[in-house]
Chains A and B, each alone.
Chain A
Amino acid sequence: MSDERAVTDGGSGEAAQSPWFLPVVLFGGMVFGFGLGFSQMARPEVVLDFLQFEDFGLVFVMGGAAVVTGTTFFLATRLLDRAPLTGDAYTRRLKSFDRNVLVGGGIFGVGWGLSGICPGAAYASLGVGNVTILWAIAGMFLGAYLQGWWRARDATSTTTATSAD
């Protein structure tokens, strides 16, 4: 597990390198959201059906998406030089492994199994008219805040005035 070095989180994000940067991000997000809608992932019921072994379609959603990203990452890191809109190098998404990956994955699993929602699908669900999903989105922001508050507090109580990662 430790062979994976932590790399920068999704590029530098030094926005506005090109006037096309935000329009392309918007377009990519729309394609992403369209896919979540089309694949029924914007419906928590369908996710819960998968987790109860009543509809295995979700395997094709994640599998189909990972085949496209995997092929793209594989080819771009070998054949392409730098991204046109930012000048960033092409990398793979490699995060360092530690206990938080397991604990966080477990907590996420309980939440996903309870509600059938995850972040991207929740935003998409709003797009298909599901205003009830605002409960989930509010919960996610609260959870992210609690996590940040707790880790900041943890960091200041264990070390003196050094900011955690």
Chain B
Amino acid sequence: MDLATLLPFIVNVIVGGLVLGFVYAIIALGYTMVYGVLQLINFAHSEVFVTGAIVGYEVFRVLAPNPMNGYLKLLLALLAAMTVSGVLNVLIERLAYRPLRNAPRLVPLITAIGVSLILQDVLRVIEGFQGRFDLTYILPESFGTRFCAAQSSCAALGNVLRTIGIDLQVKDVILIVVALLSLGGLNYLVNRTRLGKAIRAVAQDRVTAGLMGIDADRMISMTFLIGGALGGISGVLFGLKVGTVNAYSGFDPGIVAFTAAVLGGIGSIPGAVLGGLVLGVIQNLIGVTNIFGQILGSANLQAIDASYQRIGAFLVLVLILIFKPTGLLGKSNVEKV
């Protein structure tokens, strides 16, 4: 094992982790935004995300015979998923959380888990009526090709990237671009617009914001709409990356993304993104520890393979929370007296 083979391998592992990390990051935003305004962990977010993935699948399926441009299909899939997931998230808040706003903290939490389970089976029934369970994305041919393939105009760049171990497909690049655009859009919305200011005000102190003339209920709905739309985007990205989704696909990424949100500091938007990326990369690095074990000749490290990925991610979470209880970018909450 020399450096010339090992370096591309390590780069490959890190890049793979980053690509998935972007998906986790966008899902984590949904958890973190809702927590920011309501101090509620919206466990139904994993199903809001799967709804987006399924809507995206349906758009690609319906448009499959249509010869239109693949990127246009993607745009339509993203818009449809954002709309459906956003509206769904608003409805969940109206029906399940708003009536419980003044209940003890545990009540909405259990409700959220209940909503999550109900949605799973509703989604399964909807697809089941059409005799479908595992939904495999029918993507435009070009999405599956190598990024800057040998015959394309940017082949030189592609060759350089592949030499150092960055071997991406077009759809991976699409995923990263869409994720970055979503992050940019959200950042602008939250920090540069009146709506964002109002949402931040409600997150800071709902009562005072209300006294200043901000309609807190409306802002909370808007937060759920934005969080849901992001969930929809992440669903389509997940579908691009993984290729197959079903009504129950949300659980695993949901747990990981929630972990990412906590790792970054729950309630912090940049924290959620950082947490997602860090978790994606850490998971992958833990998954290949045994290779380093072979190189270093350490039997202990050789035993750590992909089966430790998830455990390792949670171990990292625990370690970070021991040293920084608020998460990587979380702000400590001063108890109001």
| A and B associate | no
Q: Which residues of A contact B (CB under 8 A)?
A: none
